[in-house]
Chain A
Amino acid sequence: MSDDEPEILELPLGDWHRSNGARMVPFAGYAMPIQYEGIMAEHLWTRQNAGLFDVSHMGQLMLTGDDVAEALETLVPGDIAALAEGRMRYSLLLNEEGGILDDLMITNAPMGHYLVVNGAVKWEDIGHIREYLPDEITLNHMEDRALLALQGPKAVDALARVVPGVDRLCFMEADSFLWRHEPLWISRSGYTGEDGFEISVPAEAVVSLADALVTQPEVKPIGLGARDSLRLEAGLPLYGHDLDERVDPVQGDLGFAISKRRRAEGGFPGSERILKALADGPPSKRVGFTVEGRQPVREGAAIFAGDTKVGVITSGGFAPSLQVPIAMGFISIEYGALGTSLEADVRGKRVGLTVARMPFVPHNYVRRGAAR
């Protein structure tokens, strides 16, 4: 390794992944598992059973102090004040123009507001939050904690055997649990479209917790490759690919993250521009695509209507659950209607695309009040 290459950091589960047969790659500055037995098999296992993902590269932040919810509302467009304790919300960290700095989860936890942010931009997020929030609010970057995700229709059976009581949580709810005297913070949430949990655990206990989970017959460890194909099938955007600072929440098709009260009151970064775009419609937006034939259309491929370039693919690949290629991208609004036929340029060859409804694979969340 030459001197100008950035140092690749080790996460608490690094050697655990290696000893479980993972192929490791650098990701967000850390050595992380891209795959174990293979992306296709891991993806399908997660859709049918339960997959264990190490997401310890993500930033876990705790904000404490008076009026944290009100202060957070100056940075994000969600109704944070209305979050009851133990409830969480998907939200967006916005710059002054309303561009998306990151997407994140915000939970009203007993000890403060708990944020999970993307690993690749967590240092920028921390700087941004520190700069914009009042000094009375304390930001604790919980680097002493690891983060696991257990995802899939059988995740609840496996986790409830290890941590009794987790089945009382429903989608987007969280609580603290004790496991062998270790304090866990567990939410029923994830990034695969499946039912599942995310588990914050003290770093020194994560190896034994991961061992306890993969011992369950429903559970196999899953790499980043399948994490990406699962989230693409679920229609979920990946920050840095499908979302970035040039995209506002309306273009990103994330209008649901702008809560009703905030639409009425404004007061979030870029709110004037964003509320106008909500009313008038954006010039372009994020949509899904089905792809003609078998060849995947990848990130960066230009989208054409005839000879006119009308968009770009931001995520694309092969959908293991559907056995066809799928993609996500940005398209000029006049070509964004469901069913619109377009073409992508794949290395000089035109490949047919059709604007399609997302998610590509139905979500399988366990919502409170819904029939099981």
Chain B
Amino acid sequence: MSRYFTEEHEWIEVDGAIVTVGITDYAQSQLGDIVFVEVPAAGTVLKKGGDAAVVESVKAASDVYAPVTGTVTEGNGALEGDPALVNSDPEGDGWFFKLTLSDASELDGLMDEATYKAFVAGL
């Protein structure tokens, strides 16, 4: 398995044809206390760069974009009852959704962990 990162502070875990998407620890720290997450339902077709999920903190609402094109296989139902999972474990149990990857070449432009860390350090 390998993990990729986007400039929009999402992480993408690739396991064969299935990828899991969430937001990074940096993203959750910037958003603050998360009180609501809306994840896409299974079967939703997402296009790279399109709206995929909504995350709301006490202060503000933010969109989460689909980092790659694909069909959703599962949204993280645990976030409905416990949105603060995104704060406590953003890169683990606080994942947003899983999808089947339509075009593996879309992963090519993404950052690896070291590159993402350097990117965040430069912000």
> Contact residues of A with B, CB < 8 Å?
34-35, 38-41, 43, 225, 228-229, 294-296, 298, 317-318, 320, 325, 347
Determine the chain B residues whose CB is within 8 A of the CB of A295 once the complex forms.
Answer: 36, 38, 54, 56
With most chain B CB atoms within 10 A of its CB, the pick from A43, A228, A317 is: A317
Determine the chain B residues whose CB is within 8 A of the CB of A296 once the complex forms.
Answer: 35-36, 56, 61
Q: Which of B54, B58, B80, B83 contacts A229 (CB 8 A)?
A: B58
Find the B residue at minimum CB distance from A346: B61
Further contacts, 18 of them, CB under 8 A, given A39-B59, A298-B61: A35-B32, A40-B32, A43-B58, A225-B58, A225-B59, A228-B59, A229-B58, A294-B36, A295-B36, A295-B54, A295-B56, A296-B35, A317-B59, A318-B35, A318-B56, A318-B58, A320-B33, A347-B61
Q: Does more than half of chain A's interface fall in helix, strand or loop, or is it mixed?
A: mixed
Find the A residue at minimum CB distance from B30: A23
- Interface band, chain B: 10 to 19
Quick one: given A35-B32, A225-B32, A294-B83, are A40 and B38 in contact (CB under 8 Å)? no
Determine the chain B residues whose CB is within 8 A of the CB of A318 once the complex forms.
Answer: 35-36, 56-58
CA distance A317 to B57 in the complex (A): 9
3 closest A-B pairs by CB: A40-B33, A318-B35, A39-B58
CA distance A320 to B58 in the complex (A): 8
Nearest CB of B to A259, in Å: 36
Determine the chain A residues whose CB is within 8 A of the CB of B56 once the complex forms.
Answer: 295-296, 318
Find the B residue at minimum CB distance from A324: B35
CA distance A317 to B35 in the complex (A): 10
CA distance A325 to B35 in the complex (A): 9
- Binary interface profile of B, 34-77, with partner A (CB < 8 Å = 1, else 0)? 01101000000000000000101111110000000000000000
Determine the chain B residues whose CB is within 8 A of the CB of A228 once the complex forms.
Answer: 59
Q: Which of B35, B54, B58 contacts A347 (CB 8 A)?
A: B54
CA distance A110 to B56 in the complex (A): 48
The answer to whether A38 and B32 touch across the interface, beta carbons within 8 angstroms, is yes
Nearest CB of A to B37, in Å: 9
Determine the chain A residues whose CB is within 8 A of the CB of B38 once the complex forms.
Answer: 295
Find the A residue at minimum CB distance from B51: A347
Find the A residue at minimum CB distance from B56: A296
CA distance A34 to B57 in the complex (A): 13
